[in-house]
A and B are shown apart, each in its own frame.
Chain A
Amino acid sequence: MPAVETGKTSRFREMRRSIIARLDKLSEKKTIAYSLYLSSIIFFLGIILLPSLLGILLKFDTVMNIVSDPELLHRSLTAVFSSIIIAGIVSALDVAAGLPLAWIIARKKYRWLSIVDSLVDFPLIVPTVILGYSTLLLWSEETPFSIIGFNGISPGLITVLLLHFAFSYPVVVRILVGKLMDIEATYEVAARTLGACPFTTARTVTIPMLKSGIITSLILSFARSLSETGATIMVAGSFENGPVFIKKSIDAGMVPPMVFVSLVLIVLSILILAGLRLFGFKLRIPFRKSHRIEAALSSEGVTRIRDLFAIIIFLFLVLLPACYMVLARINSMLSYDLLGKIFTLQGPWSTYGVSVLNSYVIALLTTLINVMFSLPMATIIVRRKLGGFVSRILEALSNTSIIMPSVALGVSLSLFWGTSGASDFILVLLAHLCITYPYMVATTVSVLEDIPVELEEAGRTLGGTPFTVFRSIVLPVAKYSFLSGVILTFTRSVNETGATLAVSKTFKTVSVLLVEWVKSPGMRIEAGAGTMMLMFLSIVLLLIFRYIYTKGGGALA
């Protein structure tokens, strides 16, 4: 303790202490706890769930228009079928390719791994639409592989697959690395000393323990693939999946396809995801005698090749598309005097500055509000405050908006809030809340599940009020996993385009602006420079955030 304190810091400490004391007092009251739970449920139902589904509910009668039109029905069902197939293939490939890389990051001790570890998050900070454009350039329009005789593929199913793989891969690796870190190496050591080779150990010990992580990964990448709209349109060519079909028909002034396709997608994906949750956990991985092949697969040579493959896939199919647009423009950008123009806010760059500010304000508010409301919600779900049945229902419902095609979500929201007279800022904020809410709840739930209830009980019985226990025990213990939820929410909000465009034509976030620039032929250089600038800003912001978080959190007394 410093012996002398300036008047200012002591006043600040005094103020902090009195605020904490007041919150302590408040948290002692049961009514306060229950009104928190109640308000989080009202927030969920009134701001998240109902507005997301309302567009569909209001226009439900138009479903018959589709059913009675054979041609439209056929087109709709084909689109839905394509969506499901793509989501299935992508989520399977994500896990198959993500697991080896996650394994390397979690289990091996090379020095360069920390770089790979941070590079994995890199695609997350690129707006998805930009990733789409970048993918299009890389594999089709301006492919650099023409030097080896590859002339690019025309936009269609393959480019959609490549895109979806790239944007869902980082989340899958993140989840699997986290789970692998939680599985103690002692189990693997035990299996090895019992005579199993590394491959057999992985198959019979580690992967079965990893099952919940794999299922979560499958669910998230499946849902994200089903709902992504903006980037998919960019690379789809004439190919149609559900969201692309919805967007096309909305642009042509038709609402019925949106209602029908969204409805079928929601119903089908709820069935598929419920099936995955239900049977996925029961599914046993075959536990046979270990074969000679497995020993061969465990040999150093094969392991090296596998690791190499995992890294090549990551570099070429994920990392390269994420930064290709910037790379492809790097020459023209250098001659463009980027820094001079950006920092003097000349021409389009003043708009850019405003849109960046818009994005960060929205992302910050979205994250704060979602943290505030998802904490009590997660507490209800994990600690079963309102009974096990309510918990399960709320958990399932909280995932709805991940599955909804983002364009359908946007239309639903604008139908719901359209007549309310709310400003565009509020509309965009509401849309972002809906889109990021499931991520925040899901991560908070898994964070709380990992904290032993005894720690909370010990805090209470030692004399801590619920608020003190939360502030000085739950939060510090959970802070790293909680941080990943906050970052996921924040970056997702910065990158969002589909729903933002649907609710507002005038309020421009930086992702929306970049999409506009990408689409207008004269602005290609600016689009590249703007994307690079955004990536740079995001990295700086994340670093600052991480620094404040590790410094500030967990201080006691």
Chain B
Amino acid sequence: MPKVVLEKVSKRFGRITALDKIDLMLDDGEYSCILGPTGSGKTTLLKIIAGLVEPDSGDVYIDGKRVTGTPAEKRNAVYMHQNYALFPHLTVSQNIIFGLTARGFEEETARRKVSEVLETVKLGEWANAYPRELSGGMQQRVALARCLATGARLLLLDEPLGALDARLRLEVRRELSRIAEELNLTVIHVTHDQSEALSLADRLILMRSGKIIQTGPPEEVYFKPNSVFSAYFVGESVFLEGVVRRVDGRIVTLELRNGTVIEALSNEGFKRGELAVAAVRCEDIGVGGGPLTARLKEVNFLGSFSKLVFELTGGLKITVNIPLPRFIKEEFRIGASFQLSIPREKTYLFKQPPMGLMGEIEAV
């Protein structure tokens, strides 16, 4: 069944390396989200699996069969474009029937299938409309129906929710996971929206500049980021650069630029005098009672939580997210002084990236 395996897949476009020796294995029925910034190679990877782009080197296997070089129409993997690519000269039902007749279904069967999938995406009465007559959300559902009708078990979605408004996006997100579950599809879903990836994925694949940085269940990527980039791109973190002053078993003491000292837990074998970067989730920083003295600079009320920006001595800024029950407007007056705490068990410590902290996260 649709198990997707990539072996050392590389692709270059001129001087740009889009994919650099990608290895990947996805299980049958798994919903994977490829997450990464623009230009990280997500779409290229998806198109290579679909057969729309040929890799320069490496191999692709679907269902244990090597499909490198097999044309797209023979792969039983169906790709959905970001802008849906509905055929403008065909009606909704003609759009859907295209894939069926192309795959040699009898007319009778094809028509039954069309009404079936139109039912699934709740567009029954729009069968004879042209794409231009539909709203963005409806077009999205037609594109999805067109893919589902082919009966392909492997669904490749390129930013499927990108063109929808925020409310609709949440709705369709639920629809997608319901359909995928019901039809037991293997889905690979490309996105740059972390909340989309976190909520949908059985497995998250984090990409950057043509490489896979981290892969695993969303909780694992969130709670155990393996790199500065992971911590930066998934969730929201504060990054602190400093020098390792002491290593005591797993406890590493870091001295920040402004002289402040913090602690973190790590098995990575840090040495004294080494440069390191500490990352803390914005919601894990404690306000009130802690060793760090900071002045409140900014308050952003965002509904269920509030975002507070503090400044340490020496100009270092720290953003803290506070959930609603703990946020009382009168307490958090701008200019007031607070004590902050950084729990060492929730602090991730990484070696200084070769391009420096800013190089690692600014290139995004």
Instruction: Report the nearest B residue to A554, measured CB to CB.
Output: B89
Interface string of A444-465 (1 = CB under 8 A from B): 0000000010110111111111
A557 touching B101 by the CB < 8 A rule? yes
Tell me how far the C-beta of A550 lies from the nearest C-beta in chain B, rounded to whole angstroms. Answer: 12
Is A250 on the interface with B (CB-CB < 8 A)? no
B50 touching A462 by the CB < 8 A rule? no
A457 touching B72 by the CB < 8 A rule? yes
A458 touching B103 by the CB < 8 A rule? no
B85 touching A463 by the CB < 8 A rule? no
List of B residues within 8 angstroms of A465 by Cβ: 71, 73, 102
Interface string of B218-253 (1 = CB under 8 A from A): 000000000000000000000000000000000000
A462 touching B88 by the CB < 8 A rule? no
Given contacts A476-B89, A554-B89, contact A462 B83 (CB under 8 A): no
Task: Give the complex CA separation of A476 and B130 in angstroms.
Answer: 15
On chain A, which size bracket covers the interface?
20 to 34
Tell me how far the C-beta of A150 lies from the nearest C-beta in chain B, rounded to whole angstroms. Answer: 52
Tell me how far the C-beta of B67 lies from the nearest C-beta in chain A, rounded to whole angstroms. Answer: 13
Which of B71, B77, B99, B103 is the one whose CB lies under 8 Å from A28?
A: B71
Given contacts A452-B85, A476-B89, A477-B88, contact A463 B103 (CB under 8 A): yes
Given contacts A452-B85, A472-B98, A557-B101, contact A461 B72 (CB under 8 A): yes
Instruction: Report the nearest A residue to B152, measured CB to CB.
Output: A463
B87 touching A463 by the CB < 8 A rule? no
Given contacts A454-B83, A557-B107, contact A461 B98 (CB under 8 A): no
Is B197 on the interface with A (CB-CB < 8 A)? no
B52 touching A462 by the CB < 8 A rule? no
A556 touching B147 by the CB < 8 A rule? no
Tell me how far the C-beta of A27 lies from the nearest C-beta in chain B, rounded to whole angstroms. Answer: 10
A460 touching B88 by the CB < 8 A rule? no
Tell me the A458-483 residues at the B interface (CB within 8 Å).
458-466, 468, 472-473, 476-477
Is B31 on the interface with A (CB-CB < 8 A)? no
Is B79 on the interface with A (CB-CB < 8 A)? yes
B52 touching A468 by the CB < 8 A rule? no
A473 touching B87 by the CB < 8 A rule? yes
Given contacts A28-B71, A461-B50, A461-B79, contact A455 B85 (CB under 8 A): yes
Is B78 on the interface with A (CB-CB < 8 A)? yes
Most buried by B among A452, A460, A472, A476: A460
Task: Give the complex CA separation of A554 and B103 in angstroms.
Answer: 19
Given contacts A463-B73, A464-B73, contact A557 B97 (CB under 8 A): yes
A462 touching B89 by the CB < 8 A rule? no
Main secondary structure of the interface of B (DSSP, over half): mixed
Given contacts A455-B85, A477-B89, contact A462 B71 (CB under 8 A): no
Task: Give the complex CA separation of A462 and B110 in angstroms.
Answer: 14
Which of A460, A473, A556, A557 is the one whose CB lies under 8 Å from B52?
A: A460
A461 touching B52 by the CB < 8 A rule? yes
B81 touching A457 by the CB < 8 A rule? yes
List of A residues within 8 angstroms of B51 by Cβ: 460-461
Given contacts A454-B85, A461-B52, A462-B146, contact A556 B90 (CB under 8 A): yes
Is B94 on the interface with A (CB-CB < 8 A)? yes
Which of B50, B81, B146 is the one whose CB lies under 8 Å from A454?
A: B81
Given contacts A461-B51, A461-B73, A462-B150, contact A468 B102 (CB under 8 A): yes
Most buried by A among B75, B102, B107: B102
Task: Give the complex CA separation of A455 and B52 in angstroms.
Answer: 12
Tell me how far the C-beta of B55 lies from the nearest C-beta in chain A, rounded to whole angstroms. Answer: 16
Most buried by A among B72, B79, B83: B72
Which of B74, B99, B107 is the one whose CB lies under 8 Å from A462?
A: B99
Task: Give the complex CA separation of A473 and B90 in angstroms.
Answer: 9
List of A residues within 8 angstroms of B78 by Cβ: 461-463
Most buried by B among A454, A462, A464, A557: A462
Tell me the B258-306 residues at the A interface (CB within 8 Å).
none
B88 touching A556 by the CB < 8 A rule? no
List of A residues within 8 angstroms of B85 by Cβ: 452, 454-455, 457-458
List of B residues within 8 angstroms of A454 by Cβ: 81, 83, 85
Task: Give the complex CA separation of A457 and B143 in angstroms.
Answer: 13
Tell me how far the C-beta of A541 lies from the nearest C-beta in chain B, rounded to whole angstroms. Answer: 26
A455 touching B87 by the CB < 8 A rule? yes
Instruction: Report the nearest A residue to B149, measured CB to CB.
Output: A462
Most buried by A among B77, B99, B147, B156: B99
Tell me the A53-112 residues at the B interface (CB within 8 Å).
none
Taking A455-B85, A458-B81, A556-B94 as given, write out 17 further A-B residue pairs in contact, using a Cβ cutoff of 8 Å, ordered by the A residue number. A28-B74, A454-B85, A457-B47, A457-B72, A457-B79, A460-B73, A461-B50, A461-B52, A461-B77, A461-B78, A462-B73, A462-B102, A463-B73, A463-B102, A465-B71, A556-B98, A557-B101
B residues contacting A by CB (< 8 A) are: 47, 50-52, 71-75, 77-79, 81, 83, 85-90, 94, 97-99, 101-103, 107, 146-147, 150, 156
A residues contacting B by CB (< 8 A) are: 1, 28, 452, 454-455, 457-466, 468, 472-473, 476-477, 554, 556-557
The 6 closest A-B pairs by CB, nearest first: A462-B99, A458-B85, A454-B85, A461-B79, A460-B72, A464-B102
